[in-house]
């Protein structure tokens, strides 16, 4: 690899090595033309202007000689422009330096040379990555006056400040000295080699941070509360140890197929998520012949019964309503249950599901001590998982287990804005949202990435769908009021890339793995920070592509309040405020409830 060196910066150019002074760089910047193609910026300099005569007074002659020699290597005809390919981030940095150098911004305290964390329409309100707000310092917000309609058209972006998600960053990148642990593979857990091979075939080699912490604890028989950011690999964090234990038990005590009983239950809030978890569970349990079944609500008792006509599975993934129906109708029993997983905890413990969940828990015997999770007649280990965590969870769980027996795994980035995802907030009039959306879709279309457009209600999803149809935008819709038969396959089709735009409600914001999504549009601003975090978490997932973005339209005064808190958290680099209390008193989530009809 060859580099063009400028002061302390290194530019990848594919050309011989140059060192140029700040003065020359300033000159080059002032004469350059830039052309943006995709994510790359091409800078063109007029070679004829970089001559000894124009620079001899300011730049050392040796330097000119080395540059001229280098430039000769870059082009055959010296009068032709030289094209240097510079990463987009570097371009942003250059713009920032230019701004800094203009007198107007000389005294801006929040802007320092380097990358910008907050980029506002009004550059006075920019904030550099290198700037840290003092403890008692009040940030000046771009969104401060956004309650007024006069603010329409204003915007700011929280830039991404790293490429990879925090969950897959190597320990040494996070300032942890134990660099050796960064290279650990799944063999480290001493799980069945077949499991490790299956993961390798899916290009999953190194455990994420949450997997490093959770897998050993579940293998040791602990009850666990696992709280980690969206897309950090929580599904495998609980499925791998469960499948390993089920397989190990089966090897110790082989049984006939007719004696098979449900040993693990995973409860999730939506049919789509149930299908997704089932498919991951099937892929990792395939080498062992374990049976994984799914039961989702909305399609009648007959459908649930049909799932069990050929016997019981080893692992059942179900929505709460379907699971309860199966229990009440005696299609299944949970007498031999070893593992009970409650995924998407914030939704599962909110008031729309809490009653059902308590009912399910009353059908299970959950272990209260480590000693109860081993041996032949053992009780179920409890695993509660979420990306946002309910404050009132203890009230429900305290009724079935000793809370002191639960180990908590909490990730460093829990309730933080994701540092690897660019998030833009646009103050816009309600009537202009559709035009802004159309523009954003056109821009994203070029990259052929998936786009999720979130609305707050099923009716807006339908209305927006018709409007986009009129604009000839190909899309699909997903909302909880659709009949189950219609809903089936929509998300899978989107995941396969059959269509790039999915208009949806929050039903698609929980747990769904959206590796191909490159843009999230909050057409309606989410009602809570929790919803914002889950929606934004559909991009920038472990193992996914880099460069995901979130674009939020901000219309109502109550939206502005949430945005102000998000902007404050971003400028202060703290967690989003009020998450705990919101989770304790959740809003009624009717959309998920439709699964239980």
Ligand X SMILES: Nc1ncnc2c1ncn2[C@@H]1O[C@H](COP(=O)(O)OP(=O)(O)OP(=O)(O)O)[C@@H](O)[C@H]1O
Contacts 24+ apart (CB under 8 A), 578-583: 578/529, 579/388, 579/389, 579/415, 579/529, 579/530, 579/533, 580/389, 580/391, 581/391, 582/528, 582/529, 582/530, 583/346, 583/349, 583/350, 583/388, 583/389, 583/390, 583/391, 583/392, 583/530
Cβ distance to ligand X smaller for residue 208 or 401: 208
Q: How far is the CB of 222 from ligand X (least distance, A)?
A: 19
Cβ distance to ligand X smaller for residue 372 or 513: 513
Q: CA distances (Å), 115 to each of 140, 293, 330, 574, in order?
A: 19, 49, 61, 19
Q: How far is the CB of 362 from ligand X (least distance, A)?
A: 26
Cβ distance to ligand X smaller for residue 211 or 528: 211
Q: What is the DSSP string of 305-366?
A: HHHTTT---SEEEE-HHHHHHHHHTTS---TT--EEEE-SHHHHTSTTTHHHHHHHHHTS-B
Q: How far is the CB of 236 from ligand X (least distance, A)?
A: 5
Q: How far is the CB of 199 from ligand X (least distance, A)?
A: 8
Strand order in the sheet with 82-87: 33-37, 40-45, 82-87
Cβ distance to ligand X smaller for residue 147 or 206: 206
Give every CB contact of residue 241 below 8 A, 6+ residues apart in sequence. Answer: 189, 191, 214, 215, 218, 219
Q: How far is the CB of 186 from ligand X (least distance, A)?
A: 8
Q: How far is the CB of 414 from ligand X (least distance, A)?
A: 11
Cβ distance to ligand X smaller for residue 221 or 233: 233
Q: State the burial class of residue 426 (Cβ atoms within 10 Å of its Cβ: 0-12, 13-18, 19+).
A: buried
Q: How far is the CB of 112 from ligand X (least distance, A)?
A: 34
Q: Which of 547, 534, 531, 553 is nearest to 449 (CA)?
A: 547
Cβ distance to ligand X smaller for residue 270 or 368: 270
Cβ distance to ligand X smaller for residue 233 or 419: 233
Cβ distance to ligand X smaller for residue 24 or 383: 383
Cβ distance to ligand X smaller for residue 185 or 439: 185
Interacting residue ranges for ligand X, rule: CB under 6 A:
204, 206-208, 211, 230-236, 387, 511, 513, 515, 537, 541-543
Cα 315 to Cα 301: distance, rounded to the nearest angstrom: 20
Q: Give residue number: closest CB to ligand X.
A: 543
Our measurement of the distance from residue 286's CA atom to the centroid of its chain's CA atoms, rounded to an integer in Å, reads 28
Q: How far is the CB of 421 from ligand X (least distance, A)?
A: 13
Percentages helix, strand, coil for the chain (3-state, rounded to 5) are 45, 15, 40
Pairing of strands 40-45, 82-87: antiparallel
User: Residue holding tokens 């989003």?
Assistant: 576
Q: Which of 134, 137, 104 is nearest to 122 (CA)?
A: 104
Q: How far is the CB of 208 from ligand X (least distance, A)?
A: 5
């Amino acid at each position: 690899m060859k580099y063009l060196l400028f002061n302390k910066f290194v530019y990848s150019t594919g050309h011989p090595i140059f060192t140029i002074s700040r003065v020359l760089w300033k000159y080059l910047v002032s004469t350059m033309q830039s052309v943006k193609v995709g994510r790359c910026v091409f800078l063109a300099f007029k070679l004829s202007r970089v001559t000894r005569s124009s620079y001899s007074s300011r730049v050392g002659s040796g330097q000119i000689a080395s540059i001229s020699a280098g430039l000769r290597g870059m082009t055959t005809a010296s009068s032709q422009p030289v094209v240097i390919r510079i990463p987009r981030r570097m371009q942003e940095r250059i713009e920032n330096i230019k701004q800094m150098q203009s007198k107007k911004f000389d005294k801006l305290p929040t802007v320092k040379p380097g990358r910008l964390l907050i980029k506002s329409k009004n550059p006075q309100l920019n904030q550099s990555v290198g700037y840290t707000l003092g403890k008692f310092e009040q940030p000046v917000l771009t969104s401060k006056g956004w309650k007024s309609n006069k603010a329409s058209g204003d915007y700011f972006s929280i830039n991404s400040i790293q490429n990879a998600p925090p969950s897959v960053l190597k320990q040494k990148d996070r300032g942890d000295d134990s660099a050796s642990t960064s290279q650990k593979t799944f063999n480290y857990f001493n799980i069945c080699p077949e499991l490790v091979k299956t993961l390798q075939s899916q290009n999953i080699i190194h455990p994420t941070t949450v997997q490093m912490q959770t897998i050993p604890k579940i293998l040791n028989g602990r009850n666990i509360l696992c709280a980690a950011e969206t897309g950090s690999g929580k599904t495998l964090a609980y499925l791998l140890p469960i499948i390993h234990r089920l397989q190990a038990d089966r090897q110790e005590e082989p049984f006939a197929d007719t004696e098979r009983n449900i040993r693990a239950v995973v409860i999730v809030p939506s049919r789509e998520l149930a299908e997704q978890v089932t498919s991951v569970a099937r892929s990792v349990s395939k080498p062992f012949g374990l049976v994984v079944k799914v039961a989702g609500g909305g399609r009648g008792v007959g459908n649930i019964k049909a799932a069990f006509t050929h016997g019981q599975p080893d692992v059942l993934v179900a929505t709460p309503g379907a699971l309860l129906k199966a229990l009440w109708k005696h299609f299944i029993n949970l007498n031999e249950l070893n593992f009970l997983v409650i995924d998407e905890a914030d939704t599962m413990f909110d008031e729309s599901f809490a009653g059902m969940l308590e009912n399910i828990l009353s059908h299970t015997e959950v272990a209260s001590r480590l000693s109860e999770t081993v041996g032949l007649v053992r009780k179920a280990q409890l695993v509660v998982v979420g990306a946002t965590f309910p404050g009132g969870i203890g009230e429900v769980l305290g009724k079935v287990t000793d809370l002191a027996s639960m180990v908590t795994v909490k990730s460093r980035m829990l309730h933080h804005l994701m540092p690897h995802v660019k998030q833009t907030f646009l103050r816009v009039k309600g009537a202009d949202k559709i035009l802004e959306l159309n523009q954003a879709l056109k821009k994203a279309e070029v990259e052929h990435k998936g786009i999720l457009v979130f609305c707050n209600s099923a009716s807006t999803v339908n209305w927006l769908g018709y409007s986009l149809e009129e604009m000839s935008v190909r899309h699909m819709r997903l909302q909880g009021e659709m009949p189950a038969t219609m809903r089936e396959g929509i998300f899978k089709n989107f995941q396969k890339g059959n269509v790039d735009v999915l208009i949806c409600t929050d039903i698609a914001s929980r747990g769904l793995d959206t590796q191909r999504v490159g843009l999230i549009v909050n057409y309606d601003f989410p009602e809570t920070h929790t919803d914002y975090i889950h929606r934004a978490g559909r991009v920038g997932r472990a193992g996914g592509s880099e460069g995901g973005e979130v674009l939020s339209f901000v219309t109502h005064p109550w939206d502005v309040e949430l945005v102000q808190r998000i902007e404050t958290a971003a400028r202060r680099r703290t967690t989003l405020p009020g998450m705990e209390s919101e989770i304790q008193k959740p809003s009624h989530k009717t959309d998920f409830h439709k699964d239980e009809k």
